[in-house]
């Protein structure tokens, strides 16, 4: 019996592992180096929590709302494409990047979640807003923005359609886009300033 070729055995095992991973929905990821250690991040979190609760701990937990936004990518374009030899494999800008929406999520300190706001890419007043949004599920707020970002116009929609109805008493609202939100609050005056503290 001859000795097995280690490189052939390795390639066979690698192929089996890749097929298994693909079959079960796993993909290879590129590890990213963290700029801060887990201990540093934990210390920062503890420091912020102590500072926050020393300032706002007297508020009822139901009147402390954290609002944040995150991009959600879908329909990722492939890194490779098929093209005839000698023909171009170029794609337009829209195809080059994944499609995305922005999800604006809010939760009260007592654990109650507010309905999400989903910002989709499109022209305000255009076909996406006129034809697609009415077909979306009714348990969220929807807005259209050219880049699917939260801007002052979208904050106006979010305040008008949701936040003003959620402020039950003097409240603390923690937002990532403080300046944009504050300008929108001032302009719309939907939420009385004596009932809202933005942090």
Residue 29 lies in a domain: no
Distance CA 8, CA 72 (A): 41
Distance CA 142, CA 90 (A): 33
Per the CB < 8 A criterion, the answer to whether 143 and 123 are in contact is no
Residue 14 lies in a domain: no
Per the CB < 8 A criterion, the answer to whether 132 and 124 are in contact is no
Residue 27 lies in a domain: no
Q: What sign does the CA torsion over 59, 62, 67, 72 have? A: positive
Residue 110 lies in a domain: yes
pLDDT digits (tens, 9 = 90+) for 69-127: 988 887 666 566 656 666 666 655 555 455 889 999 999 999 999 999 999 999 999 99
Residue 21 lies in a domain: no
Determine if the pTM surpasses 0.85.
no
Domain membership of residue 197 as a residue range: 60-77+94-199
Residue 73 lies in a domain: yes
Distance CA 84, CA 87 (A): 5
Count of structural domains, the chain: 1
């Amino acid at each position: 019996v001859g000795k097995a070729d280690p490189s052939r055995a390795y390639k066979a095992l690698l192929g089996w592992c890749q097929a298994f991973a693909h079959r079960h929905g796993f993909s290879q990821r590129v590890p990213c180096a963290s700029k801060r250690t887990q201990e540093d991040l934990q210390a920062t979190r503890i420091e912020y929590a102590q500072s926050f609760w020393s300032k706002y701990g007297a508020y009822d937990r139901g009147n402390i709302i954290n609002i944040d936004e995150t991009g959600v990518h879908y329909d990722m374009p492939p890194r490779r494409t098929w093209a005839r030899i000698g023909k171009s494999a170029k794609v337009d800008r829209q195809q080059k990047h994944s499609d995305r929406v922005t999800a604006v999520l809010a939760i009260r300190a007592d654990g109650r979640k507010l309905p999400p706001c989903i910002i989709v890419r499109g022209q305000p007043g255009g076909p996406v807003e006129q034809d697609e949004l009415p077909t979306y599920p009714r348990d969220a707020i929807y807005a259209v923005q050219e880049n699917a970002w939260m801007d002052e116009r979208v904050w106006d929609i979010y305040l008008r359609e949701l936040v003003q109805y959620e402020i039950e008493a003097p409240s603390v609202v923690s937002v990532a886009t403080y300046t944009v939100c504050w300008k929108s609050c001032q302009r719309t005056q939907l939420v009385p300033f004596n009932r809202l503290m933005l942090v």
